[in-house]
Amino acid sequence: MNKKDRREAAQLRSEARTLRSAQEQLALLDEKLGVGTGAVKERKRLKAIIEHEKLHEKAQKEQDEQPELKKKFKKGKRRGSG
């Protein structure tokens, strides 16, 4: 395998990685290395991403469930102005 082949293989692996979610990547690590074994920093990073996504989804869901607050606090509809 020459340098060009290695570079192309690395590019393909990189592209495949970008298509996987953090949860999928964590599952792949578990499959390859064993559950919770190895890649400690990468696992920590992936878990932080997953947790951030969950919190973001939860906040978005709560915001969507309270549309009356959006109407109440629209710009320009303040009491006592004018």
SS3 74: coil
Q: Calculate the CA 32 to chain-centre distance.
A: 21
Residue 17 belongs to some domain of the structure:
yes
Strand, coil or helix: what is 36?
coil
The pLDDT assigned to 75 comes to 62
Q: Which residue range(s) make up the domain with 33? A: 9-57
Q: Identify whether 36 is part of a domain.
A: yes
Average pLDDT of span 10-21? 94
Residue 24's pLDDT is what?
95
Q: Is the residue at 38 inside a domain?
A: yes
pTM for the predicted model, two decimal places: 0.64
Cβ-based neighbours of 34, under 8 Å, separated by 6 or more: none
**pLDDT tens digits, 19-66:** 999 999 999 999 999 998 899 999 999 999 999 999 998 888 888 877
Has residue 33 been placed in a domain?
yes
pLDDT at residue 13 greater than cutoff 80: yes
For residue 35, tell me if it sits in a domain.
Answer: yes
- Phi, psi for residue 65 in degrees, rounded to 5: -80, -10
The count of domains in the chain is 1
Is 24 part of any domain? Answer: yes
